[in-house]
Structure 1
């Protein structure tokens, strides 16, 4: 097999750097989420049942509990600190059976690159959600 070209090596290195950056960002964001969950626990804010939104806009049940992080209720954190994006695919039966979203890596900027919906720093979303859940 031919030796890796300089162009291929550069592309591989850029990919490795991007992955390392994303992992570092996820660790920093996870630290913020863990602190948020701890603060909510200290404040006595109980988690609520979470619902997901299907791509067609239908809201469906999930087996998860936690706290929503945005007004659209499409991002949430569970009591164990796992981060969920609650927009998912689902069949017509999902209205009756529900869905089980998988956790994803958190980011420090919500909605990065998006042109619709809410965007901003994770810290701002956490402060807004904390104020909402502790004022109930």
Structure 2
């Protein structure tokens, strides 16, 4: 009987993990579409991108990057590039990174920036984008080509 119970629990955990992964994938896909639409609107309206910098963990130093785009958070810990890629702009910076610049990898964006953090530190992605370019979401979508 305990083998049957263990097998049922294992299967239930697997199904739960699959559901969570599917829900997270759907949220990332929605956020990616939101960022792509924002970037088109920002470029069409002339919102000037800036060079993005990476911060060291715990506020330890800053490093240049080759990325151009917009900061999504006031604390400059997340950004979107002109290509629509999402970056977390914090990293374990070395002295070499601070001198030569940091290389960051794009990540799948969340719908809520800073979710699970301290109270008041999270913001919906849509609200962060609205803060950068008020009214962008109600403007007609200008797709290239």
Same fold (TM over 0.5): yes
**Which of 23, 26, 42 does residue 44 from structure 2 map onto?**
42
Give CA-to-partner distance per residue, 1:51-83, whole Å, 9 cap, x none.
000114111101111111111111110111100
**Do the aligned partners of 2:49 and 2:70 also contact (CA within 8 Å) in 1?**
yes
Tell which deviates more after alignment, 41-50 or 28-37: 41-50
Extract unaligned runs of 5+ from structure 2: 135-145
Q: Secondary structure at the match of 1:24?
A: helix
Q: Does 1:86 align with 2:89?
A: yes
1:52 aligned to 2:39?
Answer: no
Structure 1, unpaired ranges of 5+:
132-136
TM-score, scaled relative to structure 2: 0.83
Q: Which runs of 4+ in 1 moved over 4 A?
A: none
Deviation at 1:118, TM superposition (A): 2.8
Take 2:58 and 2:95, find their aligned partners in 1: how far apart are those partners? 10
Superposed CA RMSD in Å reads 1.8
Q: Matches of 2:123 and 2:96 in 1, distance apart?
A: 34
Aligned equivalents of 1:69, 1:22: Cα separation in 2? 20
**1:52 partner SS:** strand
